[in-house]
Amino acid sequence: MATPLERWVEEQAKLTKPDSVYWCDGSEEEARRLVEIGIKEEKIDGHSVFSELNQKTFPRSYYHRSHPTDVARTEHLTYVCHPNQETAGPNNNWMPPDEAKEKMRALSDGCMKGKTMYVLPYMMGHPDSPYAKACIQLTDSVYVAISMRIMTRMTKKVTEKIGNNKNFVKGLHSVGDFDPEKRFIMHFPDEQFVWSIGSGYGGNALLGKKCFSLRLASYLGMQEGWLAEHMVILGAQDPSGDTTYIAAALPSACGKTNLAMMESVLPGYKIWTVGDDIAWMNVGEDGRLWAINPETGFFGVACGTSKKTNPNMMKTLTKGTFYPTLFTNTAINADTNEPWWEGMNGVPKNIIDWHGNKWDPAAGEKAAHPNSRFTVSAYQCPTLSPLFENPQGVPISAIFFGSRRMHLNPLIVEGMNWQHNVFLGARMGSETTAAASHKEGVIRRDPMAMLPFCGYNMADYFKHWLSVEKKLVYKPRVFSINWFRTDEDGEYLWPGFGHNIRVLKWVIDRVHGRVGAQETPIGLIPKIEDLDMQGLDIPKDNLKKLFAIDKDGWLREAGDIEEFFKKFGSRMPKAMWDELNAMKRKLG
């Protein structure tokens, strides 16, 4: 008798009509075969899916050039299909589930003809973790299959784990014909099902990532009392040998990966990496907040990554284990066959740009796409936390809500109590980046860096965050951060990267009650003399500017926050309005 899983796969194959169906086992040998298929057989837009990069300097690395229209998440084509629109909220595109399925059925009919359907069994989270989830994705792309093998724990055992159970997480993915007009990413939270067509891009096509681990999981977390967040998880070890675990939300392409594996400039401090993108956080029996990273890889922005900005990522990318490493839409140094991108190192003489053409710097275009990416195994990371595989995760003592703001937001602000902490997240606004296909550099409200990823009404999401307080015996301290403030000439006021440890040191000291703070209308800020500036010579005036509170600017910001809150009508928790009004009052 066929299992529910086998029956489901059969039904999808009937609709999509692949030439063959292949059940992946996640083995090394299989990965090698799939890469070979990507090099020799499968094509995108007439070129091979993979080409081999310099195997001496970038062992086990392969280059992938996407379809030129398929380079980022497409938020306007992403829908959350709850039975009623109110549950999806104004923060999501919505379609009734039946209508969405009819649309997808029509687009998917025969979409895998001439191709292989890969059945990918994978876990999000360590299989021994009480928080892990067994998932299945179907795809017709070897690029997606290999990426999923890097990013998740893909193993045959997952099929055994699912057994006769009907309640596994399902994803159906096809690249279709890459036509942006026929591209949709549809979520069906009540069925734990994601249906995606027309794109091979990570955030649209690796369905365990944003689609399940954030959009569906955030809704599940609301129902079950836990949090699925767009957060880095790191351990900051101080000179005493203690490690303080921090979870940090930052919008896409705002330096989460750099933060997750930062190389400290302060002696005696060391960062341990648990995750760079997603945190699932549960209140443990001990009343602490425990976080796991459900992923096993990094899908990071290449541009700007260098030995200077992120030496640990450069080591990760060049380590070469049995996991393949993928570079997507970067440029290539034609003389060495190595991947290259703006900000990596000096500019090589002969560069092939991300379109596959010889690059002419004078033409004014970037050689690598601004959202070019690497996909690499976390097990290659030299700073991987010894607790990476701990089924329970790590206990979180501090949470950051970060944004990219040239003006207004101080380097760090601490929340005053849990309600104010939630407001620090809810009031976030950030400049948009190339990670999604929209205009860059425009400020948009992005609470908790979750605007594109919250799978339900954000008013209910704030309510959920507020409700977590009563379960917490030990509450993490919460901070808003901004590494990106500039002066009148547009120069960054803060050096960032390894210097961010100076801010983390203050946070660790706050967590352990070793240092005070001063109150402002928007929260608590450090006393300048409490920031460890040894070995950093920046003008004292710059430090003042980093913490300056521009009252008029904040009042304008309050107006913007108000407009955003209003969209949620009476569903918006009163506590958030109270905080907004209190902030306005304090600003005068």
How is residue 300 annotated by DSSP?
Answer: E
Q: Looking at beta carbons only, is 255 or 311 nearer to Mn ion? A: 255
Choose among ligand OXD, Mn ion, none what residue 319 binds, the Cβ cut-off being 5 to 8 Å by kind. none
Cα gap 439→437, rounded to integer Å? 7
| Binds ligand OXD (CB under 6 A): choice among 435, 450, 458, 511 | 435
* Beta-carbon-side half-sphere exposure of residue 140 (alpha carbons within 13 Å): 28
3 state SS of 298: strand
List binders of Mn ion among 44-63 (CB under 5 A).
none
Check binding of 299 to ligand OXD (CB under 6 A).
yes
The residue type of 185 is I
Question: Does residue 430 bind ligand OXD (CB under 6 A)?
Answer: no
Q: Does 433 interact with Mn ion (rule: CB under 5 A)?
A: no
Q: 30, 140, 277, 579: which one contacts Mn ion (CB under 5 A)?
A: 277
Q: Name the token pair of 510.
A: 């706050």
Beta carbon of residue 430, minimum distance to ligand OXD (angstroms, whole number): 12
- Site size with Mn ion, rule: CB under 5 A: 2
The alpha helices in 261-324, defined as continuous H runs, are: 311-317
The one of ligand OXD, Mn ion, none whose footprint includes residue 202, by CB under 5 to 8 A per kind, is ligand OXD
Of 203 and 523, which has the nearer Cβ to ligand OXD? 203
Q: How far is the CB of 202 from Mn ion (least distance, A)?
A: 9
Q: Which does residue 38 bind out of Mn ion, ligand OXD, none, counting CB within 5 to 8 angstroms by kind? A: none
Closest to Mn ion by CB, 132 or 253: 253
Q: Under a CB-based contact definition with an 8 Å cutoff, are residues 290 and 227 in contact?
A: no
| Tokens describing residue 191 | 């069925």
Q: Does 92 interact with Mn ion (rule: CB under 5 A)?
A: no
Does 142 sit near ligand OXD (CB under 6 A)?
no
User: Closest distance between ligand OXD and the C-beta of residue 376, in Å?
Assistant: 13
The only residue of 65, 67, 73, 369 in contact with ligand OXD, by rule CB under 6 A: 73
Nearest to ligand OXD of 341, 506 (CB atom) = 341
CA distance 77 to 67: 17
- How far apart, in whole angstroms, are the C-alpha atoms of residue 457 and residue 154? 32
**150 SS3 class:** helix
Question: In this chain, which stretch among 61-69, 269-277, 402-410, 529-537 interacts with Mn ion, using CB under 5 A?
Answer: 269-277
30, 140, 263, 277: residue in contact with ligand OXD (rule CB under 6 A): 277
Tell me if 302 sits within 8 A of 339, measured CB to CB: yes
**238 touching Mn ion, by CB under 5 A:** no
Amino acid type, 411: L
Closest approach of Mn ion to the CB of residue 297, in Å: 13
Residue of 66, 129, 204, 252 interacting with Mn ion (CB under 5 A): 252
Q: What's the min distance (Å) between Cβ of 479 and ligand OXD?
A: 21
What's the half-sphere exposure (Cβ side, CA atoms, 13 Å) at 19? 4
Spell out, one character per residue from 531 to 570, where the chain touches ligand OXD: x when CB under 6 A holds, - when not.
----------------------------------------
Choice from 202, 294, 297, 573 touching ligand OXD (CB under 6 A): 202
Residue/partner pairs of 512-517 with CB below 8 Å, 24 or more apart: 512/244, 517/414
The span from the CA of 133 to the CA of 162, in Å, is: 10
Q: Using the minimum distance from each CB to ligand OXD, give the nearer residue, 5 or 435.
A: 435
Residue 167 burial (CB count, 10 A): 11
Give the integer Cα–Cα distance in Å for 323 and 526.
43
User: What part of residues 356-415 is at the interface with ligand OXD (CB under 6 A)?
Assistant: none
Q: How far is the CB of 396 from ligand OXD (least distance, A)?
A: 20
Nearby residues of 122 by Cβ (< 8 Å), 6 or more positions away: 26, 135, 136, 137, 148, 152, 153, 154, 155, 158, 208
Q: Write down the least CB distance from residue 434 to ligand OXD, Å.
A: 10
CB of 278 to Mn ion, least distance (A): 7
Question: Could you tell me which stretch among 75-83, 155-163, 271-279, 309-317 binds Mn ion (CB under 5 A)?
Answer: 271-279
* Count of alpha carbons within 13 angstroms of residue 356, beta-carbon side: 14
Give the nearer residue to ligand OXD in terms of CB position, either 147 or 155: 147
Q: Is 252 in the site for ligand OXD (CB under 6 A)?
A: yes
Min dist. Cβ of residue 230 to Mn ion (A): 6
Cβ 276 to Mn ion shortest distance, Å: 8
d(CA 458, CA 80): 13
The secondary structure of residue 490, as a DSSP letter, is: S
Nearer to ligand OXD, 206 or 266 (CB): 206
List, in sequence order, the alpha helices (H) in 409-480: 418-426, 458-468
What lies within 8 Å, CB to CB, of 192 at 6+ separation is: 167, 168, 169, 170, 212, 216, 220
The residue whose Cβ lies closest to ligand OXD is 252
Which residues does 292 contact at the CB level (< 8 Å), separation at least 6? 125, 126, 129, 131, 132, 233, 279, 280, 391, 392, 393, 394
Give yes or no for residue 229 binding Mn ion (CB under 5 A): no
Taking 3-state DSSP, the helix, strand and coil percentages for the chain, each rounded to the nearest 5, stand at 30, 25, 45
Q: Which is nearer to ligand OXD, 218 or 252 (CB)?
A: 252
CB atoms within 10 A of CB 114: 9
446 binds Mn ion (CB under 5 A): no
Which residue out of 81, 111, 135, 254 is catalytically annotated?
254
d(CA 484, CA 35): 39
Give 359 or 400: the residue with its C-beta nearer to ligand OXD: 400
Based on the residue annotation, tell me whether 254 is a catalytic residue of this protein: yes
- In whole angstroms, how far apart are CA 218 and each of 91, 142, 195, 272, 454? 14, 28, 17, 26, 6
Shorter beta-carbon distance to ligand OXD: residue 260 or 522: 260
N-terminal to C-terminal alpha carbon distance within the chain: 71
Q: Which residues bind Mn ion (CB under 5 A)?
A: 252, 277
Catalytic (active-site) positions = 254
Q: Which residues bind ligand OXD (CB under 6 A)?
A: 73, 202-203, 252, 277, 299, 435
